[in-house]
Amino acid sequence: MNIVGIAFGMAANTFTNVNSRLLLEVNQATVQSVVHKGQEEFRYRRDYTNTFNRSDAIYHLRSYLRLCMPFTIETDINTTVAIVKRVGPQSLENNPLIAPETDAPELPVSSRPPAMVTASTQTQEPRTPNPKPVAKSRPLPKGDAAFAQIFKDYNPQEFPPSTVEKIYKVLCVPRAERARGGEIVRKHIEIWEQAETAPVTVDGFVDKQERDLLIGKSDCPIASVRNYYERQRFRDGAETDVAEVIGLLNRLPDDKLPGRGLLATSLALNDPRTRARIAQVRKALAKVPASAVKPSSLPESMADQWTRDLADALLRLRAPQPANGPPSKPTAMPTPGPGSPARAAIPVAPSK
């Protein structure tokens, strides 16, 4: 609002202080024609569509408002009359007051308007009017083509670099992967979509609605957690007791992880032994054909991350039985709904 106020304040002061006899006496239709033509040519410009800072916004607003100012209108009228009187109407160039930068195709030599001529010129060739600039469909740049594989209906104006960077930070995408896009980024998006409480489509793409949800969230503390589900489950690393997670990892039978042994429930999530066991369990479950629920496959660099589907698969395994005791019944655990942390209490064997 301050930027608009500055720009319009300049325009208001200009009209208040003007004392222009030409502008007041000239036909109103002529004034409107000059202003409308300048506005139309301004709209063909491309540079004002990528405005990301205050100084650019002020510049473009002032450029647009200048088209309607008295001195601009008078200059345009005076220039037109002078050229017609000296040379003739065929020598008028269709040059806008503010030069636009467009992708209009270059005219062939035979179609280019003639240069300015002098009164001594004896013959004049008829001038071909300049065509209006035509927006050409160009292929996306290499970087934008990668974004099109991540963002649904990708448009650089709707997903500027600052927005893309913010989304990556929220989703815990490693810095080394942010410029590549591809499968790793898609998997981080899927993990978030499965954990998000708002209604979203789990497809591995970020649409405009999901973009608006993501940019309102805080950045991921990637030193403590490695994906959005871990953010939600462990409260951005504030919850350090992961005994329940260790208990689920220990449910995998010994024949599936021979010689591995049980993990101590006192280990932290980012302990190398915990991370290594998560990757081992994920790999072992993927090879079990009779498993009712299998975790989704992840790239090798993400295999040691705790995800909701891995927790669901382990919840359906029989809990380990205590030595020399009666078999215990597995505790009925509700399947976590979308966005609900997959927290499973370790079943306790009944006392003798």
% of the chain residues with pLDDT over 90: 35
* Residues 6 or more apart whose Cβ sits within 8 Å of residue 54: 3
Question: Is the separation of the CB atoms in 310 and 274 below 8 Å?
Answer: no
Look at residue 66 in the predicted model and tell me its pLDDT: 72
Look at residue 45 in the predicted model and tell me its pLDDT: 64
Q: What are the beta bridge partners of residue 151?
A: 206
* Residues 6 or more apart whose Cβ sits within 8 Å of residue 339: 195, 196, 197, 198, 232
Instruction: Name the amino acid, one letter, at 149.
Output: Q
243/234 Cα distance (integer angstroms): 12
Is pLDDT larger for residue 136 or for residue 264?
264
Complete DSSP assignment for 155-181: -TTTS-HHHHHHHHHHTT--GGGTTT-
Look at residue 84 in the predicted model and tell me its pLDDT: 65
Look at residue 97 in the predicted model and tell me its pLDDT: 43
Look at residue 13 in the predicted model and tell me its pLDDT: 60
Look at residue 120 in the predicted model and tell me its pLDDT: 43
* Residues 6 or more apart whose Cβ sits within 8 Å of residue 257: 280, 281, 284
Average per-residue pLDDT in the chain?
74
**pLDDT level of residue 105 (50, 70, 90 thresholds):** very low
What's the pLDDT tens digit per position in 190-237? 999 999 989 999 999 999 999 999 999 999 999 999 999 999 999 999
65/59 Cα distance (integer angstroms): 10
Q: Is the dihedral of CA 145, 151, 155, 157 positive or negative?
A: negative
193/197 Cα distance (integer angstroms): 9
141/143 Cα distance (integer angstroms): 6
Does this model's pTM top 0.85? My answer is no
Complete DSSP assignment for 79-133: HHHHHHHHT-GGG-----SS-----PPPPPGGGSPPPP--TT----PPPPPPPPP
- The alpha-carbon radius of gyration of the chain (Å, integer) is 34
Is pLDDT larger for residue 28 or for residue 319?
28
Count of beta carbons in the 10 Å neighbourhood of residue 113: 16
Q: Is the dihedral of CA 297, 302, 305, 307 positive or negative?
A: negative
- 185 pLDDT exceeds 90? yes
What's the pLDDT tens digit per position in 244-272? 999 999 998 777 777 788 999 999 999 99
Range in 85-94, 103-112, 175-184, 223-232 the model is least confident about: 103-112
Residue 157 structure tokens = 């104006």
- 160 pLDDT exceeds 80? yes
CA–CA distances in Å: residue 298 to residues 3, 16, 122, 279: 47, 67, 78, 10
Look at residue 30 in the predicted model and tell me its pLDDT: 78
Helix 2-17 × helix 70-86 angle, to 10°: 60
Question: Is the separation of the CB atoms in 197 and 338 below 8 Å?
Answer: yes
285/230 Cα distance (integer angstroms): 20
* Residues 6 or more apart whose Cβ sits within 8 Å of residue 156: 50, 144
- 96 pLDDT exceeds 60? no
* Residues 6 or more apart whose Cβ sits within 8 Å of residue 254: 260
Q: What are the beta bridge partners of residue 206?
A: 151
* Residues 6 or more apart whose Cβ sits within 8 Å of residue 159: 147, 151, 211
**pLDDT level of residue 91 (50, 70, 90 thresholds):** low
What's the pLDDT tens digit per position in 16-68? 555 555 666 777 777 777 777 777 777 666 555 555 567 677 777 777 777 77
Look at residue 92 in the predicted model and tell me its pLDDT: 54
- 276 pLDDT exceeds 70? yes
